[in-house]
Structure 1
C-alpha cells in the first residue's frame, strides 16, 4: 500500500506551520459513537493486525506519551502542573480502552481547550510591544529536550521567545528586500528598522490570527481522530485510522480520479478560490470557469443556491463534487469583478500527474525510453478504469514502435500503491516466475508469481530509485535485482517499507447507523524472492549515487514502532544470465560517480544539510543572528550550483502523445517543463549512460527452473 504522509488532521503539523489552535473549538462530542469506534478498533487490532501488541501498562504509557506529544509538541500549551494531573492516567489507558472509557481523552481535551483560550491572549499581548533585538539571548528549538513550563510565567516566556524568533526571521527578510530595492533604484529611501519591526510583528499577528480561524473549523471528529491514531500507530507506523472524510481522500489518492468539476480549490480568507483547472476535466473542457474565480454560491440542479462564503473548504468541496452526469450551478465572482452563473455537468476527473508518462531520450544517435511511474495506482471499485500495470504495458508498446534500445523506469518518490499492479509490471520483463512472497500472520509465506509468459520488454532495463521509493516500488526493484534483469541505480537504499496494509471499513465489522470511518491495517509482510525482507533494509542500489538525503534520517527505520527485519526461505527462481557486461557496467558507473565533481559537490551539500538539521540553538540578538545568517549564506553560496546540471540530451514526447498535446495546451506545457527538467537531471543522465552501455547476451529471458 501507499506510503504517504499520514492523512490525519493533527495539531503538531499545524502548530509547526507557525500558529496555534482556536479559542472556540468545535468539540461537540459524540460519546456513544466514540465508544463504539474504540471497541471496534480494539477488536480489529487484536485479531487482524500482523503483529498485535498486548494492551498493557507499557502500551498505555506509549499511548499517553504519543497523545500528549501530538497535542503539544513544542511545549507551549501545557504546564508541568497539567502534565502531573494527566500522569495519573499513564498506566490506566489500556484499562480504559477495554471499557470504552474516554476519561483520559476528555480530561486532556478539556484542559487543552482552556490553555488554547489563554494562549490567544499570550501572543496578542506579546506582539503589541517592540522586541529588544539588542539583548543577548538564544532559543532552543529542540523541543524533545525541553521541559514543560513550570508555571504560566515560564509559559509566557516560551511564547515570547518563539514570537521573537518568528518576528526576527520576518525582519531579516524585510531587510533583504529593502537592500534589493536600494540596489535596483539608487533614489529609493530605505524604510527604518522601527517601521520594519512593526511590520514584522503585524505579519506574525496576522499569521496566527489566520491560523486560529482555520483551527476553529476542525470538529470533534478531527480531534478524536488524533487520539485514535495515538492508539493505532503504537502497532506500527502504517496502521492508521481514517475518519470518513479522510477515507475519501485516500480513495482518490490510490485510484487517481474523482467525480466532480475538475478544479483545485483553495480557501483565502472567507472565500473559495479556483487555483487550477485539471486538464481534461469538465470545467476545463467547458471553458467558462477560470483560475482566480471566486465561488460565492452553488446550487444542485432544481435546488436553491447555497451561500458558501465563510464555509470551511472541506464542506464546500463536498457540495461541489458529485456523481458523473449531475449538474452544479456556481455563482462566481470573476477576476474582473463581474458576477456570473456557470452550470457545469460533473464527470470523472483523472488526476494526470498520478499516471504513467514517458519520453524518448536521444543519446549518441540512439533512442531510449524513459518512463516515470509516480505510484502503483488502481481503482478496486471499477475494473474498467485505468491501472498502472495496463498503462505501463501500453506505454512500453508505444515506445517499442519508435525503436528504443533500452528502457529506464523512474521510481523516485514513488511511495507504492497496489501490490497487484507491481506484480503485473514485474511480469512485463520476464517470462514467468515469482515476483514477491507475501506472509500473513501465523501463516506460511505465499509466492506471488507472474503467470503470463508474454515478455513486453526484452531489452536492457535500468530502474532509478531514491530514499522515498517505497513498498510496491521496492517489490518491483527487488525482483528485477534478484533476477539480475535490471540494474538498480539511485540512493544507497530505498525507504524500507516491507509491510502490506488493507483498508477496512469499520461499519463492515460493526453494524452502526453512522459512518465510523476506516482503519488502514498492517496485515502482511512481503519478502523478496531471495527470502530477505525489504522491511527496514529496503533495496540497496547496485549503483549508489549521492543525494541531498544521503545523511538525513529518512526511511522506515526512522519511524516510530516499525516492524522488524527478518528472512524466510528463498522462492524457486534462478538469476538470469542476461547481460554480457553486467558487472563491468556497474563498476564503470561507480568509478565515474566517485570522480564526478558534481556528485562530489552533492555529497558535500548533503553533509551540510545534515549539519544544518542538527542545529537547534539560534540567537535572538539581531547582530548575532545576522552574523549566523552570513555564515550560512556564505556556506550556501558554495552550493548554489549543486543541481545545475546540463546533460545536453534531447527529450521528446512519444509520437502517440503529439496529437493529444495539439488539443491540450496544458498537457503540452507540462511535458515541455518535464523534458526541460530531465535535461538538468544528473541522475537521469548517469542512468541513461548505464543503460546505453548494457549489452545483452543472445539468450532468451525464459527463467531457468
Structure 2
C-alpha cells in the first residue's frame, strides 16, 4: 500500500495546498465539501494503514470490488441508473486505488450528480405511472433479484421497471383490502382488527384499485420528500464504507450523527418498538429484538424480517420505507409510549405480514441477565439468559455481566441447583473483560482467550482470581448461529477446558475480531470542516486457548441441534470480505476433570436430538426458509399473487405444530424476584412471558436432560468451592 506518511501534519498541509488546484468534474460542488471529502479519504487511508489488523492491498481487484459494490448500493433496486450510466462510470472501475492514493473522489462526484439527476427524472416517471390504473388481472410477474437483473437500456424500459415495482407494492395493499372486505373479522388495510359490517355495500375491484394506488401514491410522495432531505454526506459515507468494508466487514466509517446514535443505542431507554434496525441495500432489516420490548412481547418479529411499510395509528396511510435512509425510517417507527405503529413486514420466509405494536419505553434493564429455576423430576436446575456481555466504561457503579451472573449463580445454589444452563443464543457479544470474569466463575486460574494484534504481537488474557470457583457442577452452554464475538469466547474457553458441554447450531457466528474507534478529529489541527466523525476498525483477532481462531469457524457445538437459521447466509463466513481463519500456538492450561461420562452423555443426547420429530421438523422448516429466500419471481396478477400466498400458507401448515410444542418442565422465578414481582406487575408479566417461552423451548428441555445425565467424579463441591465476592 502507498498511503500517506506517518507525519500526518505534513500530509494535511500538502492536501490543503493541493485542493486549490484540483478541479472536480462537477462544478457545482461546494468547495468546503470537496476539501472535506478529500481530507476524509486522506485521514481514513492513513488510519487504516497504520492501525488496521491486516490492511488490504490497494490493487485493481480492490478497485473493482469497491466499484461494483458502491454502484449497486447507490441504486440497489435499479430504479435510477441506465445501462449507459454504468458504462460511463466504468471509466473508474480500476482507478479507485489510484484515486485513494491521490485523495481524489472523482467517481463519487460523477455518480452522486447522476443519481440526483436520475432521481428527479424518476419522480416524473413515478407521477406518470401512478396516475394510471394497474391491471391486476393481467398475467405478468416481477423478478426481485435486483442484484442480477440488468439495468434498463433506456427510459422506456426504466418506466416499465418502475411500473412493476409500484404494482408490486400496490397489489399487496389491494389484496389486503380484498381480504378485509370479504372477511367477517379481519385486518383492515392498516393491520387493525375490525368487525366487517355485512350490511355495508362492498366496493368494486375498480374502487379498491384506486384506493390502493392513491395510498401508495401518498406513501411514495412522502418517501420522495424524505429523500430530498438526504445529505451529500450520507452518500459519501456510503462510498467510504464500501472502501472500509473491503478491509473486513466490521471496519466502518461513522459520520458524526451516526456515531452519536451508536454511542447512545445501549444506554438509557429506547422509546419505541424495542428492535434494532440496519440498512441492507434498499431494505430496512431487523437485526435484533430487544428483550422485554413490544417487538419481543408480540412474538411476531424476528431477526431478518424486512420492514417495507410503516403506518401510524389505524387511520393513517402506510409509508413505504424501501430505499429510505435508516435515520428517517427509525423516525417513522419510533414514537411516544402508548401510540400504535403498524409495520408491514417481508418475513424471513418471503411472506408479507402486518403487525400492530403499541410503542412502549423499552428499559435496558431487560437486556440484563435474568434467571429462572427449572424443576424436573423434583430436581432443581438453573437457567441464566444473557442477552449481552454488558459493561459501562463511564459509570463504575453500573451493572456488569460478570457480577450479575455471579450473583444469580449464588442465588441458584441457595435454592438447591444441581445443574446450570447459560443461554447465549442470539447474544452478539460485548465486553471482553466480562468474559474473563465469567469464565473465572467456572474454572481455576488459567488462560481464557488469546488476542493477536498486528505484526504477530499476541497476548494471553487470564482468569487470575486466586483459583476460586463458584460453580463446579454440570454446565451446559446454549448457542446458535447468532451467538457471536464475546459469546464465542466464553463458549470456546469452557469447551476447551472440558468444563461445559456446548449445545446448539452446528457452529456459532464466527466473529473472531476486535474493533476500536478512532476519532478522526484528533488528527487535524483546524476545525474549519466541523466534526469529521470516527472510524471503527479491526485491530486484533481472538484465539482460543487451544490455538484456533474463532474467526469464520466460530465454535462447533458438542451436541448439534437444528435451528431456524441453519441454511440461511447469516454468519461471518457469508460476508464478502471477512478476515481468514488461522491458528497460533496453544496456551498452557489444565483441563477440567469433573465429568465421569461426558462422551457418553454427548452421544446419548445427539441420538435423542436426531430421533426427535420436533427437531426434525425444525430442520425441515429451516431448509424451507432457505429455499423461499431464493424465490425471486413474484406474480403481479391478483390470482397469481393470491395463489402464491395460499401456497406459502399451505406449505407452512405442517410447521405449525412447532407453535403448539410444550415441555413438562416446571418454571419459576427465584425467591427474591417473586417478592419483587408482587410489587411490580410489569416485571411479573415479563417474567411470566419468559417462563412460557421456556415451556415451549425444546432446546432448554434437552439441555436439562444433558444436565440430568452428567455424572460428576467424586468431588466434594461444597468443600472445594469458595464464593466470589
- What pairs up with 1:572-583 in 2 under 5 angstroms? 572-583=588-599
Deviation for aligned residue 1:149: 0.8
SS of structure 1 residue aligned to 2:449? strand
Q: Quick one: structure 1 residues 333 and 227, their matched pair in 2 at CA, closer, same or farther if it must change by over 3 Å?
A: closer
2:489 to 468, 475, 478: 475
Q: What is residue 610 of structure 1 aligned with on the other side?
A: 626
Contact map agreement 1:257 1:349 (CA 8 A) in 2: no
Deviation for aligned residue 1:215: 3.1
Distance between the aligned counterparts of 2:412 and 2:233, measured in 1? Answer: 48
SS of structure 2 residue aligned to 1:641? helix
Q: What is residue 195 of structure 1 aligned with on the other side?
A: 207
The superposition leaves residues 155-194 of structure 1 with CA deviations (integer Å, 9 ceiling, x where unpaired) of 1111111111222222222222223228976945543222
Distance between the aligned counterparts of 2:429 and 2:292, measured in 1? Answer: 24
Q: What is residue 371 of structure 1 aligned with on the other side?
A: 384
1:236 pairs with 2:248 = yes
SS of structure 2 residue aligned to 1:175? helix
Q: What is residue 415 of structure 1 aligned with on the other side?
A: 428
Contact map agreement 1:466 1:493 (CA 8 A) in 2: yes
The superposition leaves residues 358-414 of structure 1 with CA deviations (integer Å, 9 ceiling, x where unpaired) of 111122212211111111112223333222122222222222222211111111111
Q: What is residue 9 of structure 1 aligned with on the other side?
A: none
1:248 to 240, 254, 260: 260
SS of structure 2 residue aligned to 1:442? helix
The superposition leaves residues 97-146 of structure 1 with CA deviations (integer Å, 9 ceiling, x where unpaired) of 22322222121111111111222222232121111223222211111211
Contact map agreement 1:579 1:697 (CA 8 A) in 2: yes
Deviation for aligned residue 1:485: 0.6
Q: What is residue 589 of structure 1 aligned with on the other side?
A: 605
Contact map agreement 2:72 2:147 (CA 8 A) in 1: no
Q: What is residue 501 of structure 2 aligned with on the other side?
A: 487
1:502 pairs with 2:516 = yes
Distance between the aligned counterparts of 1:71 and 1:694, measured in 2? Answer: 55
The superposition leaves residues 15-64 of structure 1 with CA deviations (integer Å, 9 ceiling, x where unpaired) of xxxxxxxxxxx999633332222211100111111111122322222221
Deviation for aligned residue 1:427: 1.2
Q: What is residue 479 of structure 2 aligned with on the other side?
A: 465
Distance between the aligned counterparts of 1:378 and 1:507, measured in 2? Answer: 26
Deviation for aligned residue 1:204: 2.1
1:120 pairs with 2:126 = no
Q: What is residue 108 of structure 2 aligned with on the other side?
A: 105
Q: What is residue 57 of structure 2 aligned with on the other side?
A: 54
Deviation for aligned residue 1:251: 2.5
After TM superposition, the structure 1 stretch with the greater mean CA deviation from structure 2, 182-191 or 37-46, is 182-191
1:531 to 516, 522, 547: 547
- What pairs up with 1:301-320 in 2 under 5 angstroms? none
The superposition leaves residues 606-652 of structure 1 with CA deviations (integer Å, 9 ceiling, x where unpaired) of 11111111111222232233333322221122222223321132222
State the TM-score, normalizing by the size of structure 1: 0.81
Contact map agreement 2:594 2:713 (CA 8 A) in 1: yes
Following TM superposition, the consecutive aligned residue runs of length 4 or more in structure 1 with deviations greater than 6 angstroms are 26-29, 182-186, 312-315, 332-335, 700-703
Deviation for aligned residue 1:438: 0.9
Contact map agreement 1:182 1:190 (CA 8 A) in 2: no
The superposition leaves residues 644-669 of structure 1 with CA deviations (integer Å, 9 ceiling, x where unpaired) of 32113222222222343344332222
1:353 pairs with 2:363 = no
1:440 pairs with 2:450 = no
SS of structure 1 residue aligned to 2:381? strand
Q: Quick one: structure 1 residues 540 and 115, their matched pair in 2 at CA, closer, same or farther if it must change by over 3 Å?
A: same
Distance between the aligned counterparts of 1:503 and 1:421, measured in 2? Answer: 20
Distance between the aligned counterparts of 1:685 and 1:130, measured in 2? Answer: 55
- What pairs up with 1:62-73 in 2 under 5 angstroms? 62-73=65-76
1:257 pairs with 2:273 = no
SS of structure 1 residue aligned to 2:658? coil
Q: Quick one: structure 1 residues 642 and 195, their matched pair in 2 at CA, closer, same or farther if it must change by over 3 Å?
A: farther
For these two proteins, the number of residue pairs brought into alignment is 611
Q: Quick one: structure 1 residues 155 and 406, their matched pair in 2 at CA, closer, same or farther if it must change by over 3 Å?
A: same
Q: What is residue 664 of structure 1 aligned with on the other side?
A: 680
1:567 pairs with 2:583 = yes
Distance between the aligned counterparts of 1:671 and 1:693, measured in 2? Answer: 28
Contact map agreement 2:249 2:577 (CA 8 A) in 1: yes
Distance between the aligned counterparts of 1:673 and 1:661, measured in 2? Answer: 13
Distance between the aligned counterparts of 1:178 and 1:416, measured in 2? Answer: 47
Distance between the aligned counterparts of 2:518 and 2:135, measured in 1? Answer: 55
Q: What is residue 167 of structure 2 aligned with on the other side?
A: 164
Gaps of 5+ in 1: 1-25, 267-277, 281-291, 294-311, 319-331, 336-347
Distance between the aligned counterparts of 2:258 and 2:407, measured in 1? Answer: 33
SS of structure 2 residue aligned to 1:446? strand
Deviation for aligned residue 1:564: 0.8
Distance between the aligned counterparts of 1:182 and 1:433, measured in 2? Answer: 63
Q: Quick one: structure 1 residues 675 and 214, their matched pair in 2 at CA, closer, same or farther if it must change by over 3 Å?
A: farther
1:225 pairs with 2:237 = yes
1:84 pairs with 2:82 = no
Q: Quick one: structure 1 residues 666 and 245, their matched pair in 2 at CA, closer, same or farther if it must change by over 3 Å?
A: farther
Distance between the aligned counterparts of 1:131 and 1:245, measured in 2? Answer: 41
Contact map agreement 2:452 2:541 (CA 8 A) in 1: yes
Q: Quick one: structure 1 residues 119 and 480, their matched pair in 2 at CA, closer, same or farther if it must change by over 3 Å?
A: same
Contact map agreement 2:483 2:509 (CA 8 A) in 1: yes
- What pairs up with 1:622-641 in 2 under 5 angstroms? 622-641=638-657
Distance between the aligned counterparts of 1:368 and 1:230, measured in 2? Answer: 48
Distance between the aligned counterparts of 2:426 and 2:523, measured in 1? Answer: 34
The superposition leaves residues 50-102 of structure 1 with CA deviations (integer Å, 9 ceiling, x where unpaired) of 11112232222222111111111121111111112211122222222223222
Contact map agreement 1:27 1:219 (CA 8 A) in 2: no
After TM superposition, the structure 1 stretch with the greater mean CA deviation from structure 2, 473-482 or 378-387, is 378-387
SS of structure 1 residue aligned to 2:442? coil
Q: What is residue 142 of structure 1 aligned with on the other side?
A: 145
Deviation for aligned residue 1:313: 11
Q: What is residue 396 of structure 2 aligned with on the other side?
A: 383
Q: What is residue 205 of structure 1 aligned with on the other side?
A: 217
Contact map agreement 2:180 2:196 (CA 8 A) in 1: no
Contact map agreement 1:493 1:537 (CA 8 A) in 2: yes
Distance between the aligned counterparts of 1:632 and 1:203, measured in 2? Answer: 26
Contact map agreement 2:421 2:475 (CA 8 A) in 1: yes
Q: Quick one: structure 1 residues 167 and 264, their matched pair in 2 at CA, closer, same or farther if it must change by over 3 Å?
A: closer
- Root mean square deviation, CA, Å: 3.2
Distance between the aligned counterparts of 1:479 and 1:72, measured in 2? Answer: 44
